[in-house]
Structure 1
Amino acid sequence: MAEIKNYLTLTGNYAEQILSYYLWGQMKPPAPTEIADPKFIRSGSDQDEKASLTVYVNADDYMLRIGHNLPLAQQRMFQYFFNNKKAAGEKTQGWDAEITLQDILNVGGFSNEQGEIKLTHEQFLELTYKSEEVKHKRYDDAANAEFIANQYYIDTNSDDYWMRGFAFGSTKLKLDTNKIRYVFNAKTGKALRLENVYVKPQEDNFDFISNDGLAGQVNPILRQIMDPSGIGRKVEIRFDYTDDGYVKLNKGIYTQEDYRSYIQKVSVPTLILKEHGDRDNPDDWDSIYPDKPSVEKVNYNKYFQGLKSLYQSSVFDFRNEENKVVFFGTDRDDEIESYKAKNLILNKNINLSSIEGALKRWWADFYYDLEKLKTHK
């Protein structure tokens, strides 16, 4: 008999889907008449704390809808490339030495009929990470070439921003180091573009456990709200690949112009007064952008608005057909203590100790919904 796979589809609200898989082990939550079914009671054994469920995502669909937004300009080794710089050692402040035309020729580069030099990934590593100190610290990471796409900091104004952050958080994508080429001008040695850029999404998981930025602060609170009885399980995310799994990114080309355009999109320029310029004349100021892009800021408003819409769904509505709240224990002799569930005491305040600073102010706007939780869900 063929294996029956659980799938996560990305055409609808996949945040609801993955939360349902986490809580109930199925794509859709149970109806109120089904919610007290014993099949949702988790074992009391320690081993069951590590329980997991695997869901599959079509890799091509993932790249089309989510993975395509991987910001290549944020990847350190590509920053070296587009700025013609070698990786700096720990004792060097900022950038290290310039990559010259002679350096490129020394690693085996040669001019083609188009007046360009194309290096393999291996040649680029030798060019950029030459010193022993740098090789010891960074060479292996660059050789492995796994990029992290942190969805909390990517396309932060898009409609699907909150879903990407909630469901996927930080996902790794592996670069096809056999296909990629690093293209330089054969006369000047200046970096022109990347060619044959292919990446493959790597295994991921969803379980409200994270040490990463926003997720590390918010997830402990969401776990109290969305899984008060602790019935959730780790959702292992696997990808169904076509052929070798690598998908062309940005049509396989990323140019110097693409790199600079991204910097202007996410970074604030420094204004410099032209020589003999008039300070009161806006035309006498030049906007100078940095050589490395800033990181996009988290869009708290978009994220929390998305969480509010998730709250309105039935995924973590723990009421039965009589509108009574259902608590879940284990298969052992549990003692029910007042309003106390595993992750939440319903007649107490939500524990907000994991968040601080500006995030608390944003959470305050969301807090009235948490109060509703304690009386309705």
Structure 2
Amino acid sequence: MTPMERFDVLIAGARCAGAAAAMLMARRGLRVLVVDRGGYGTDTLSTHALMRGGVMLLARWGVLPRLVEAGTPLIRRTTFHYGAEAVAVDIRPGDGVEALVAPRRTLLDGTLVDCAWEAGAEIRHHHTLTGLLRTDAGRVCGATVVDETGREHAIAAGLVVGADGTGSSVARLARAPVTVQAAHAAPVVYAYFPGLADTGTHWHYAEGASAGRIPTNAGRHCVFVSATPERFHAEMRGDHLDGMRRVLREVAPALAQELAACEPDAVPVAFAGRRGFLRQAAGPGWALIGDAGYFKDPITAHGITDALRDAAFLAEAAIEDSAAAYARFAARRDELSLPLFHVTDEIAGYGWTLEEAKALHMRLNAAMKREVAALATEAVS
């Protein structure tokens, strides 16, 4: 084992939550190390869409202009389709937000990593966190990390952060309990299609299924289909693209017709679904952000926004570095997350009528407004 290095903060995971937290902490003078199992700029499962709170933070941090300069389209309208009824909503400028965006994760995560480097954080790809170091009193005080050659490193840190996804090693090693568990998990399949007209985001709802189209980089739309587990497995048995087209013909017939002459860039990506959860957000010497701490069904496309939000809240706590600050971080996360979590779980259950779906979306909108109001006072930039 190599001699022990020392950092103020060690973050496992260099995707959006981990990279954003590293950037914010390093900008305020903390010595930050980020380790990530994967390589720079790799892709990941994602809904791509950023809600107002997430865009507001990226604009405040100076990250949004880079995404726009890289060709990320501005989304100025979103349309909800309840059967044959279409409800169009123009994106109201305000809170520092001109429009919404849905960047590819290769671009978003890579840009945040670049910004973290520029702020002074150190990023080590192809490094895996394998254990936690503890004081005699049991407080986490660092971690063991294995590099790409198999060499083990002991790294001391005042705070170890898990931003390493739903299967978080930090959460497992810290024995972070699950405090809330969702009841539903809706499978989804998506693919990237070229050549569609950019009319903003579209969200389609029908009995037992939903679908959507999200404009993203390089003139592509991310087109997705979700359904109850029973229907999904029946429709997607065999060729996923054929299954997507079958569901779209019922849920979004105009979109299905538009796609009839289009082929996706690659085979569709399928996600079997996973029930959402909240884990304890922090403990002595450790904290969790992103999907490591809080995961909900992707049907409401709010995961990236939550990840950026919690990165900002944790950075504020790490700068103060007190038990009270980490307790506030955990309380704020739960206060804002639980309304989003519960309404998302209801939507993912597909037990609603179309009229009930509208009411659920009104609840979702109210929860997002509370989140934006909380982020408007966020100090870390």
**TM-score class normalised by the smaller sequence:** under 0.3
Please give the TM-score of this superposition, normalised by the length of structure 2.
0.24
Q: Which has the higher strand share?
A: 2
TM-score, with length taken from structure 1: 0.24
Structure (1 or 2) with the larger CA radius of gyration: 1
